[in-house]
A and B are shown apart, each in its own frame.
Chain A
Amino acid sequence: MSSAPILARGAEPMPLLEVDGLKAYYGQTQALHGVSFSLEQGGITTLLGANGAGKTTTLRSLCGMVRTEGTIRLNGDPILGKATETIVRLGVGHVPEGRGTFTNLSVDENLRVAAYTRQDKVAVQRDLDMVFEYFPILKARIDQQAGTLSGGEQQMLAISRALMLSPRLMLLDEPSFGLAPLIVQEIFRIMRRINTEAKVSMLLVEQNAALALDLADHAYVLETGRVVMSGKAADIKNDEAIRKSYLGY
């Protein structure tokens, strides 16, 4: 009988991302107190919670941007303690809080920077075409200095930069922040398409819980650096008691 390691784990498909007992620190201050969750291949998972619950810190921990303890496995391989650029090269596209635009570079340069580590020129061009198909406005603004784009356009550019890395997993930090509802709708519609068409799994951090629960299939609720609730997005959305006590709507 074959004893491949995957079968030894109980015949379940290996999760794309496994986080166990994650603690994070800013200097002396502990921001996460043992967060654990996992993320299936191909899905969209959302982390919900109030300001200061540790959502952004969790995403930053996954990319080695804060001091952390615990275990983080990507496709079964431990990545905690690795340099940010190394984790990124393993297929993690992080759309950061505040969008992280290279303001002095053109839109075209912003996109090409993101493809810097890739050698496959043909695939890069294909991804560029895909990005412009998702966000035609970026093609129209291709030679414009990225700092002059509107907030919505910069958010689209941030998602596009992550996409140009050809990631397996995309981490999205409040993509709706500060944007008009119509723009948010459009961006979320494209995120759904990216998930299904480009087969990119997503971990979405949002303050707008209703919006996130519509898009996601799984949800975790964080409170002061701990997971206090988790389940299928649809279940949480339909449970008024949970919504009222944890999500405030």
Chain B
Amino acid sequence: MEQLIQQVAAGLANGAIYALLALALVMIFVSTDHINFAQGEMAMFSAYLTWQFLQWGLNFWIALPVVMVLSFVIGVGIERIILRPLHSAPLLSVVVVFIGLLTIFHALAGGIWTHTIKAVPSPFPQVSFPGSSYIGPHQLGMIAVTIVMLFALFAFFRLTPLGLAMRAAAQNPASARLAGISVDWMLALGWGLAAAVGAVAGSMVAPAVYLEPNMMASILLYGFAGALVGGISSPGGAVAGGFIVGVLENLIAFLGNALERATGFYLVGNGEKLTVALIIVITVLTLKPSGLFGHVTVKRV
């Protein structure tokens, strides 16, 4: 039982990371209909920026907003400069550009900061609290940050005119233009927001793992899994999906280990976690293609 609770808590902590990255993926998908394969590497790059500011003696909680702003600018820049000329290009060209961005950020990070792994201190106080035998302060902090980000984005999209304009531009670009909305800038804004959310994800992941250019590679896959399970069109769904994937991968590995101990028969274990995540994705997409919480568009026919 003790172990089970520990596994669930660890799953929630991992899930928080997946959820943050999934949130960034959803952000771009909702505003541009694209899946940004470079999202993970962009987050990794932002994490390096945070690390750099920490090296220069800045407090983490000052460095993070600064890096979020920088990442926002980089995101907007990528959309305006690189993707703008591709607006009417076929999807495959866009995908190739995303792969290109992925390798560029990977190489840039390696080039600037070298490939040696770096330890990043946790921004959360290392104190013990009730239940700290199950979950560490950094893990708990990540979960809190994820939930705060979700509510901040929810409030932005639901309660502000700019958020409404972004939703309108994503949903019906032609009509949005006829409402006087500059759709091009809304797309760039979506990229900027995604990059800023990714910056939070990267900066939260770095203390939990070690900072190095490959840091986000597998996390991106889990982020995809979370976004697809929750529904790629729904920010709340993406966060829920991230947590679900995080907990399920741990639980299934835990049950697999228990099964092996009881019967000697090996079905799944820690080595198959990624496989489990992908099986979850395929199952959800087969049974409910819009994801667990995704929008099914209502249309009168």
Residues of A with C-beta under 8 A to B299: 103, 147
Q: Contact: B161 with A112, CB < 8 Å?
A: yes
Give Cα A134 to B182, complex, Å: 29
Q: Contact: B300 with A88, CB < 8 Å?
A: no
Digit string of A156-182 for contact with B (CB within 8 Å is 1, else 0)? Answer: 000001100100000000000000000
Residues of A with C-beta under 8 A to B181: 85, 113, 116-117
Min distance, Cβ B49 to any Cβ of chain A, angstroms? 33
A15 CB–B CB distance under 8 Å: no
Residues of B with C-beta under 8 A to A113: 164-165, 168, 176, 179, 181
Tell me which of A39-47, A93-101, A188-196, A214-222 binds B: A93-101
What band does the interface of chain B fall in when counting residues whose beta carbon is under 8 Å from A? Answer: 20 to 34
B57 CB–A CB distance under 8 Å: no
Residues of B with C-beta under 8 A to A84: 177-178
Q: Contact: B182 with A100, CB < 8 Å?
A: no
Digit string of B192-226 for contact with A (CB within 8 Å is 1, else 0)? Answer: 00000000000000000000000000000000000
B172 CB–A CB distance under 8 Å: yes
Q: Contact: B295 with A116, CB < 8 Å?
A: no
Residues of A with C-beta under 8 A to B165: 113, 116
- With contacts A113-B164, A113-B168 taken as known, whether A94 is within 8 angstroms of B178 at the C-beta atoms is yes
Digit string of A128-172 for contact with B (CB within 8 Å is 1, else 0)? Answer: 000000000000000001011111000000000110010000000
Give Cα A117 to B167, complex, Å: 15
Give Cα A65 to B176, complex, Å: 13
Q: Contact: A85 with B182, CB < 8 Å?
A: yes
Digit string of B278-301 for contact with A (CB within 8 Å is 1, else 0)? Answer: 000000000000000001011110
A67 CB–B CB distance under 8 Å: no
Residues of A with C-beta under 8 A to B183: 85
Min distance, Cβ B293 to any Cβ of chain A, angstroms? 14
A114 CB–B CB distance under 8 Å: yes
Q: Contact: A148 with B297, CB < 8 Å?
A: no
- Give the nearest-CB partner of A113 in chain B: B168
Residues of B with C-beta under 8 A to A104: 167, 171, 295, 297-298
A105 CB–B CB distance under 8 Å: yes
Q: Contact: A165 with B164, CB < 8 Å?
A: no
Q: Contact: A165 with B180, CB < 8 Å?
A: yes
Q: Contact: A102 with B174, CB < 8 Å?
A: no
- With contacts A103-B299, A113-B165, A150-B300 taken as known, whether A88 is within 8 angstroms of B178 at the C-beta atoms is yes
Min distance, Cβ A89 to any Cβ of chain B, angstroms? 5
Q: Contact: A117 with B180, CB < 8 Å?
A: yes
Give Cα A101 to B298, complex, Å: 12
Digit string of B150-172 for contact with A (CB within 8 Å is 1, else 0)? Answer: 00000000000100110110011
Q: Contact: A85 with B177, CB < 8 Å?
A: yes
Residues of B with C-beta under 8 A to A147: 297-300
- Give the nearest-CB partner of A114 in chain B: B179
Q: Contact: B175 with A105, CB < 8 Å?
A: no
Of the listed residues B179, B181, B297, B298, the one surrounded by the most CB atoms of chain A closer than 10 A to its CB is B179
A109 CB–B CB distance under 8 Å: yes
A63 CB–B CB distance under 8 Å: yes
Min distance, Cβ B171 to any Cβ of chain A, angstroms? 5
Min distance, Cβ B176 to any Cβ of chain A, angstroms? 7
Q: Contact: A145 with B298, CB < 8 Å?
A: yes
Residues of B with C-beta under 8 A to A63: 178
- Give the nearest-CB partner of B177 in chain A: A84
Residues of A with C-beta under 8 A to B174: 65, 96, 100
CB contacts under 8 Å to B, within A61-93, are: 63, 65, 83-85, 88-89, 93
- Give the nearest-CB partner of B295 in chain A: A104
Residues of A with C-beta under 8 A to B167: 104-105, 109
- Give the nearest-CB partner of B178 in chain A: A94
Q: Contact: A89 with B300, CB < 8 Å?
A: no
Give Cα A180 to B299, complex, Å: 20
Q: Which 10 A-B pairs have the closest CB atoms?
A: A100-B175, A117-B180, A84-B177, A88-B180, A113-B168, A114-B179, A147-B298, A94-B178, A89-B180, A116-B165
Q: Which residues of A contact B (CB under 8 A)?
A: 63, 65, 83-85, 88-89, 93-94, 96, 100-105, 109, 112-114, 116-117, 145, 147-151, 161-162, 165
A sample of 15 cross-chain residue pairs with beta-carbon separation below 8 angstroms, ordered by A number, consists of A65-B174, A84-B177, A85-B177, A85-B180, A85-B181, A89-B180, A100-B175, A101-B172, A113-B164, A113-B179, A114-B179, A116-B168, A117-B181, A148-B298, A161-B175
Q: A100-B174, A162-B178 are in contact. List 17 more A-B contacts (CB 8 A).
A: A65-B177, A83-B182, A85-B181, A88-B179, A88-B180, A100-B175, A103-B172, A104-B171, A104-B295, A109-B164, A109-B167, A112-B164, A113-B165, A113-B168, A114-B180, A116-B179, A116-B181
